[in-house]
């Protein structure tokens, strides 16, 4: 492993979303990610941390540099301290929403 740098950003307020986004972008830039990938990472962090504030109230964003000799890699873990999702199966249904949105959040992913 080349680097083991990490960042921990507590998520309690809207300003923390900006801090987490900036931390991710800064780390990505430092280890050599291109500007498009820096933006993609910052956008993903922004979406996840905004959801923490909207649905759970608080949590944390951990950003790890897991680069090694052959690959630059960042791992982001966003955790909330909310009550949880009462019905996971229902929440994974396309169109399900508790926030008045289009309901593309949890099922809006591709399996690889």
**Domain boundaries, given as residue ranges, for the chain:** 6-91
* DSSP per residue, 49-104: HHHIIIIIS-EEEEEEE--BTTB--EEEEEEE-S---S-HHHHTSTT--SSSS-S-
Question: What CA–CA distance (Å, rounded) separates 22 from 82?
Answer: 24
The answer, yes or no, to whether residue 78 has pLDDT greater than 50, is: yes
**Residue 52: its pLDDT value, please?**
95
pLDDT score recorded for residue 14: 96
Q: pLDDT tens, 16-75? A: 999 999 999 999 999 999 999 999 999 999 999 999 999 899 999 999 999 999 999 999
The reported pLDDT for the residue numbered 96 is 75
Does residue 90 or residue 41 have the better pLDDT? Answer: 41
What φ, ψ does residue 11 adopt, rounded to 5°? -115, 105
- For β-strands 74-80 and 59-65, DSSP reports them as antiparallel
Q: Output the pLDDT for position 103.
A: 54
- With H, G, I as helix, E, B as strand and everything else as coil, classify residue 16: helix
Secondary structure element (H or E) that encloses residue 14, with its range: helix 14-30
Q: Which CATH architecture describes the domain 6-91?
A: 2-Layer Sandwich (3.30)
Is 112's pLDDT higher than 50?
no
**Strand 74-80 with 6-11, pairing:** unpaired
Give the whole-angstrom CA distance, residue 51 versus residue 104. Answer: 13
Q: What is the pTM of this model?
A: 0.79
Q: What's the pLDDT score for residue 2?
A: 46
């Amino acid at each position: 492993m080349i680097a083991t740098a990490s960042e921990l950003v507590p998520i309690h307020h809207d300003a923390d979303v900006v801090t987490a986004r900036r931390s991710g972008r800064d780390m990505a830039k430092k280890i050599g990610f291109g500007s498009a990938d820096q933006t993609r990472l910052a956008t993903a962090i922004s979406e996840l941390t905004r959801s923490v504030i909207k649905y759970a109230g608080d949590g944390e964003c951990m950003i790890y540099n897991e680069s090694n000799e052959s690959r630059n890699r960042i791992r982001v873990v966003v955790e909330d301290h909310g009550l949880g999702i009462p019905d996971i199966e229902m929440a994974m249904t396309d169109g399900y929403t508790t926030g008045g949105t289009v309901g593309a959040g949890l099922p809006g992913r591709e399996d690889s």
